[in-house]
């Protein structure tokens, strides 16, 4: 293939490029491979570390993703008049839920992300369950938008979290809050399908049940506690432990 060099090869299962020590998350490898072969500069919208690949084939840091980087520069200025106690209820009919467990990548599955869009409150809660092992380490962040923000703008922002971030006109959060790890609990794990039984690229599929404690912050929001389920595909060749 014209323009191809061995140093452009990417090992999706190994997470890293074959001939460079720059760490690249497995979910980004497909986009990075395309970039290396075409010489285009791309930003990977759903990975744990944003990367750009110029024509030289060398990976360089790009703009961080607010889904995966707690230091994204978003303000927590609770003096802003628009941060008035948002009442966030998972059971409300206006709350929509999206579950993502795959991406544009040679690897069939990634960490599982649950996105709760509290549409009437202009708020989005993002929970991510790590699929490296059956501890299912969880991170969560809450994003608050201006009360005047359109539903379409917020939907585009959500889309940017797990896609190639194509929508430059997406909404921008007013504030970004980390949800404490100790307020999220995995209450049960059940193996749905094993890799040996399904030959599913070395993944064991689990159904987990989890709970999120009710909490609030600085009169900016009040989140009602809730329980839910998710499916997480664990890489069976990573030596999963129950830890």
* Pairwise CA distance, residues 28 & 8, whole Å: 14
Partnered with residue 206 across adjacent β-strands are 191, 232
pLDDT over threshold 70, residue 133? yes
Cβ atoms of 101 and 234 within 8 Å: the answer is no
Spell out the residues 6+ positions from residue 23 whose beta carbon is closer than 8 angstroms to its own. Answer: 15, 16, 49
pLDDT of amino acid 27:
42
Rg (CA), the chain: 19
Does the predicted TM-score (pTM) go above 0.75? no
More confident residue, 144 or 108: 144
**21-30, 125-134, 208-217: range with lowest mean pLDDT:** 21-30
Per-residue pLDDT at 202: 80
SS3 27: helix
Total Cβ atoms within 10 A of residue 29: 25
pLDDT, tens digit (0-9, with 9 covering 90-100), for 28-81: 443 333 333 333 333 333 433 333 333 344 433 333 333 334 443 344 444 456
pLDDT at 102: 81
* pLDDT tens digit sequence for 92-126: 999 999 999 987 666 678 899 999 999 999 999 99
Q: Which tokens belong to 222? A: 């009040």
CA dihedral 11, 104, 118, 137 (to 10 degrees): -20
For residues 77 and 75, give the distance between their C-alpha atoms in angstroms, rounded to a whole number. Answer: 5
* pLDDT for 122: 97
**Sorting pLDDT into bands at 50, 70 and 90, what band is 11?**
very low
What pLDDT, on a 0 to 100 scale, did the predictor assign at position 163? 83
List of residues 6+ apart from 197 with CB closer than 8 A? none
> What pLDDT sits at residue 40?
38
The residue extents of the domains of the chain are 6-61, 86-238
The predicted model gives 125-134 an average pLDDT of: 95
Helix (H) or strand (E) holding 29: helix 29-38
For 164-201, write each residue's pLDDT tens digit. 788 999 999 999 999 999 999 999 999 998 866 555 46
Helix, strand or coil for residue 92? coil
Distance CA 230, CA 243 (A): 19
């Amino acid at each position: 293939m014209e323009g191809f060099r061995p140093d452009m090869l990417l090992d999706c299962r190994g997470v890293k490029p074959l001939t460079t020590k720059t760490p690249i998350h497995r979910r980004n490898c497909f986009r990075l491979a395309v970039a290396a072969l075409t010489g285009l500069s791309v930003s990977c919208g759903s990975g744990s570390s944003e990367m750009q690949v110029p024509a030289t084939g060398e990976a360089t840091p790009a703009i961080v993703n607010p889904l995966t980087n707690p230091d994204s520069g978003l303000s927590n200025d609770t003096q802003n008049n628009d941060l008035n106690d948002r009442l966030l209820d998972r059971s409300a009919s206006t709350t929509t839920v999206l579950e993502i467990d795959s991406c544009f990548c040679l690897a069939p599955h990634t960490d599982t992300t649950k996105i709760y869009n509290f549409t009437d409150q202009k708020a989005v809660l993002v929970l991510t369950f790590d699929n490296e092992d059956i501890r299912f380490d969880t991170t969560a962040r809450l994003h608050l938008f201006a009360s005047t923000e359109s539903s379409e703008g917020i939907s585009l922002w959500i889309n940017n979290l797990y896609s190639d971030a194509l929508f430059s006109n997406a909404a921008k959060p007013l504030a970004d809050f980390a949800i404490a790890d100790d307020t999220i609990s995995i209450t049960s794990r059940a193996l749905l399908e094993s890799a040996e039984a399904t030959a599913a690229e070395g993944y064991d599929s689990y159904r987990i049940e989890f709970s999120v404690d009710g909490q609030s912050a600085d009169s900016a929001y009040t989140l009602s506690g809730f329980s839910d389920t998710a499916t997480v595909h664990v890489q069976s060749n990573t030596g999963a432990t129950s830890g």
